[in-house]
Structure 1
Amino acid sequence: MSLSIPDLVSVRARHPEAVAEAAARRARRPLLGASGRLMIVAADHPARGALGVGDRALAMADRADLLERLCVALARPGVDGVLATADILEDLLLLGALENKVVMGSMNRGGLAGAVFELDDRFTGHRAQDLARLRFDAAKTLTRIDYDDPGSLTTLESTARAIDDCAAHGLPIFVEPFISTRVDGRVRNDLSAEAVTRSIAIAAGLGGTSAYTWLKLPVTENPDDMGEVLETSTLPAVLLGGEIGDDQEGAYERWRKALRLPTVLGMVVGRSLLYPAEGSVETAVDTAVGLL
């Protein structure tokens, strides 16, 4: 990193306009490069209070360490960009780490991990107008649907309006849908083929246009089901990483199979690359890039 943490703090305190200036001069690139594939590193977990990685409850709480890991990942060949909230993206802007990268802003972070209101996932992050003003390249929304929770209707409506707003600014929006439920008070996402199929059908129909909508999808419990599941929509899709535990190789194999499907154009992966169970960030990122 070219700036130290004290330097970042000083710039933020004395020259807050530096963020807008860095955004205005940032070199941009198309969403899809020559390969037609996307590899995005995700780091929007902290803003939802999800700081844990494996058995380390506060692994992502060290901002200097997280920024260093992100800068290492972004510098690797084949990494196209990053997904994060405003605070992290603006740190990376000031560090000069976002040149010629796809910059994706996270829109709804109100559903704090473990909270009684976790499924009331309000849009507390980037708005479409913020992303357009900063010349960022795409948006992302988490859309969890619990058939037993009336608040899911609000999430669906808010997501639809976010899709409309992004389309009005010509911004691609990556919608991450799940059918969710509470088990012993904790939110669980259903990764069965039927549930993922249903979530795709619901998400693809949100908003007044789907022209700028992408889907960000999990691999189903049985990876062999993914081909049939993805027949539900013609929208372009990327795979999400999520927690993969100690079975890194098993996760790579699941991703490898799904990446062969025609609507899957890339991956958005976070903790499993930034905090790999084994090896370095460089090795984990290079292995994931190799799957593409």
Structure 2
Amino acid sequence: MRLHNPRAVADAALRRVRRPLVGESGRLMLIAADHTARGALSVRGDPLAMADRGELLRRLVAALGRPGVDGVLGTPDVVEDLLLLGALDGKVVFGSMNRGGLQGSVFELDDRFTAYDARSVVEYGLDGGKMLCRIDPSDPSTVATLESCGRAVSALARAGRAAMIEPFIAYREGAALRNDLSTAAVIRSVSVAAGLGATSAYTWLKLPVVDEMERVMAATTLPALLLGGDPAGAQDETYADWQKALAVEGVRGLVVGRALLYPPDGDVEAAVDTAASLVAGSAPKAGES
């Protein structure tokens, strides 16, 4: 298709059947698929687990076809593959924006916007844009990322599109960049992210599950989705952590990739169904706010 009819990508985007960002439940269940553009291909210690694009797409199509899955978060290459496969009708689609901070690079914190921008999010009929915002107080590159994220939030809001910010306080451990997942650090990152841009009216947060999520969510009035990350430990323990965090006020759902697309037993459908049931079970009952 790209060889003989590249215009088909834009045509598929224009034909895509769209839906409201959030339904009556007020919950969202999204599949994350933007890892590869940042060079993050590993799952559970396998450094090339996500390297086979055909296999990744097979798993994504299977996940998107399950009940309770609202949509996907991806870079243009993945989103366009899914568009051409007809897998995104009636789904929420977030475009991943800054992938320039390649995993393991010396410039990882200088997270350039190398994928979608606000204009292309609108042109391709996407529902919002997502940005990674890592904050290392000891690295001067942080300020450029903060400025870029602030500009992106403002531009998306002007277009009436949601901005999903994934903030972390980060630090160097030798050559490796680590995220500080202490409760205090996540609270600080949330506080910084909420203030980015000229308005917070369209801003969502994408947050890790940490201890004392009640304190984390008390630090903001913005809606939040929980991220999965590179899975570690038993799957049942992960589900239990998600279930507990989903019950916290302000948490609106999940945006998870590797933990569901590459489960230990290989059963993508079962993993996605379990996660979707947790999101559905966290929705307030009739009459509750």
Where on the TM-score scale, by shorter chain, does this alignment land: which range?
over 0.9
TM-score normalised to the size of structure 1? 0.94
Cα distance in 1, alignment partners of residues 131 and 86 from structure 2:
25
- Is 1:22 aligned to 2:25, yes or no? no
Match of 1:112 in 2: 102
SS in 1 for 2:3: helix
Match of 1:276 in 2: 263
After superposition, where does 1:1-292 map in structure 2 within 5 Å? 11-220=1-210, 222=211, 225-292=212-279
Q: Which has the higher helix share?
A: 1
Instruction: Check conservation: 2:43, 2:231, Cα contact below 8 A.
Output: no
Instruction: Check conservation: 1:245, 1:277, Cα contact below 8 A.
Output: no
CA deviation after TM superposition for structure 1 residue 54, in Å: 1.3
Unaligned runs of 5+ in 2: 280-289
Cα distance in 1, alignment partners of residues 256 and 156 from structure 2:
23
SS in 2 for 1:14: coil
CA deviation after TM superposition for structure 1 residue 248, in Å: 1.1
Cα distance in 1, alignment partners of residues 3 and 23 from structure 2:
36
Instruction: Check conservation: 2:162, 2:203, Cα contact below 8 A.
Output: yes
SS in 2 for 1:243: coil
Runs of 4+ more than 6 Å apart: none
Cα distance in 1, alignment partners of residues 233 and 56 from structure 2:
20
Instruction: Check conservation: 1:246, 1:277, Cα contact below 8 A.
Output: no
Unaligned runs of 5+ in 1: 1-10
Instruction: Check conservation: 1:82, 1:104, Cα contact below 8 A.
Output: yes
Using the TM superposition, name which of 210-219 and 278-287 deviates more. 278-287
Provide, for residues 16-56 of structure 1, a one-character-per-residue CA deviation record: whole Å limited to 9, x for no partner: 11011111111000111232110000010000000111122
Provide, for residues 170-193 of structure 1, a one-character-per-residue CA deviation record: whole Å limited to 9, x for no partner: 000100000000112101100101
Cα distance in 2, alignment partners of residues 246 and 273 from structure 1:
14
Cα distance in 2, alignment partners of residues 245 and 105 from structure 1:
26
SS in 1 for 2:41: coil
CA RMSD of aligned residues (A): 0.8
Instruction: Check conservation: 2:133, 2:149, Cα contact below 8 A.
Output: yes
SS in 2 for 1:61: coil
Instruction: Work out the percentage of aligned pairs sharing the same amino acid.
Output: 58
Match of 2:284 in 1: none
Instruction: Check conservation: 1:23, 1:134, Cα contact below 8 A.
Output: yes
Provide, for residues 154-210 of structure 1, a one-character-per-residue CA deviation record: whole Å limited to 9, x for no partner: 000000000011001100010000000011210110010100000000000111100
Using the TM superposition, name which of 20-29 and 244-253 deviates more. 244-253
Q: Which amino acid aligns with 1:243?
A: D
